Amino acid sequence: MRIQLIGVPSNSAGTLDGVARAPAVLRRAGLPEVLAGHTEVVDAGDLRLPAPSPERAPSGLIAEPALVAMVASVRAATRRALAAGSFPLLVGGDCPLLLGALAAARDIHGGVGVLFVDGHEDAWPPRSSTTGEAADCELWLALGREVEGLDPGLAGLLPLVAPEDLALLGPRDAEELRQAGVPSLASEVELHPAEELLAGDLERVTRGALGRLERRKGRVWLHVDLDVLATAALGAVDYPQPGGLGWEQLEALAAVALGSPRLVGLDVTIYNPDLDQDGGGARRIVAWLATAVRVLAGREPG
C-alpha cells in the first residue's frame, strides 16, 4: 500500500486562515512521519492555490474563482496519484475539495460511489446559503443540481455523482434545513443520521451502505468531515452542532470502509487549527489517521 498525501489549503469562506491552515498544522503535528510508520507514504506537499477573494458571484457562491482553481488542482493531483497506483489521502481544507477528487476518480475509474461521512448534508442551493460558502453546497453541485450563473469551468464537470451512488452517514442538521426551507436529501439518497448510528449497529449500517455502493459502482470514495464528531470530541470546527459521534465510533465506521479493497481514496476536512490553541485536536486527528492507515496497510489487494 502506497499512500500519496496531498494537502489542500483551501477555505471556501474566501480567506487564508482557519481550515486553510489545517494541512500545514497537521504536518507539524507529525502526520507524514506517523503514517510512514505503517506503510509507504509519498508526501506531495500542499497544492499551490490562488489567494481567494470573498466576493459573492452571480451563482451565489463566494470566492468562486478560487473554488474553480482549487477543484482543478485537486483533480489533477488526485488523478496523478490514482494513475500511479497510489491511494490518495487528501487533507483539507474544506469539503468542496471532494469535487476535484470525484472528477479525478471519474477520469481514472469512470466514476465511484461516495460514502459521505459528515455532520451536515451540504446540499444547500448556493443562493439559499446564508454564508455563500461552497462548503454548504458541494453535494448540490456534485449532484448536478441547477445553479444559474455558475462558472463554466465548474459547471462543465457536473454532475459527478448520482443520488443512488451516494450514502450519507452522520448528518444531524435536519432541523436547520427544515427551518430554512431547504429540502433534505433523505427522500432520494441513502441517509443514516447521527442519532440512528448512535442508537444502532453502526458497523452493520456502514457495511450495508458500502456494500450497496460497491455493487453499483465497483469502487468507492470515502469523505470524512470531522464535524461529524461531537464537540466534546473535537471542538475545532467552524459550525458545531449538538450531538455527534465519538472518536471510537468514527474509528469503527472508517475501519469498515478502509478495509474494503474497493475503496480508492479518502479525504478529511474541516479541522480549524485557529480553534485548537493547545494543538490537542491536531494530535488526535493524527492518531486517528494512523489507525486508518493501519487498516489500509493490512487490507487484501483489490
pLDDT digits (tens, 9 = 90+) for 71-119: 999 999 999 999 999 999 999 999 999 999 999 999 999 999 999 999 9
pLDDT at site 1: 86
Residue with cell 453546497: 137
> Tell me, what's the pLDDT at 302?
63
CATH of the domain at 189: 3.40.800.10
Cα 251 to the center of its chain, rounded Å:
16
Enclosing domain of residue 95: 2-298
195 Cβ contact partners less than 8 Å away, ≥ 6 residues apart: 172, 243
The mean per-residue pLDDT over the stretch 203-216 comes to 98
Q: What is the pLDDT of residues 32-64, one digit of tens each?
A: 999 999 999 999 999 999 999 999 999 999 999
Stretch 200-216: mean pLDDT, rounded?
A: 97
The pLDDT tens digits of the residues spanning 182-201 come to 999 999 999 999 999 999 99
What is the arithmetic mean of pLDDT over 245-261? 97
* pTM for the model: 0.98
Q: Is the pLDDT of residue 218 over 70?
A: yes
Q: Is 280 helix (H, G, I), strand (E, B) or coil?
A: helix
Banded model confidence at residue 300, pLDDT cuts 50, 70, 90: confident
In single-letter form, the type of residue at position 127 comes to R
Q: Which grid coordinates are listed for 55?
A: 466576493
46's CB contacts (< 8 A; 6+ apart) are: 7, 8, 9, 23, 24
Written as one letter, the residue type at 277 is Q
Q: Give residue-wise pLDDT tens across range 114-168.
A: 999 999 999 999 999 999 999 999 999 999 999 999 999 999 999 999 999 999 9
How many residues does this entry show for the chain? Answer: 302
Q: What angle do CA 13, 228, 25 make, to 5 degrees?
A: 55
pLDDT at 234: 98
What is the count of structural domains for the chain? 1
For residue 267, the model assigns a pLDDT of: 98
Task: Give the count of alpha carbons within 13 A of 187, CB side only.
Answer: 3
CA distance 267 to 240: 20
- Measured CA to CA, the distance from residue 54 to residue 62 in angstroms comes to 5
Mean pLDDT of the chain: 97
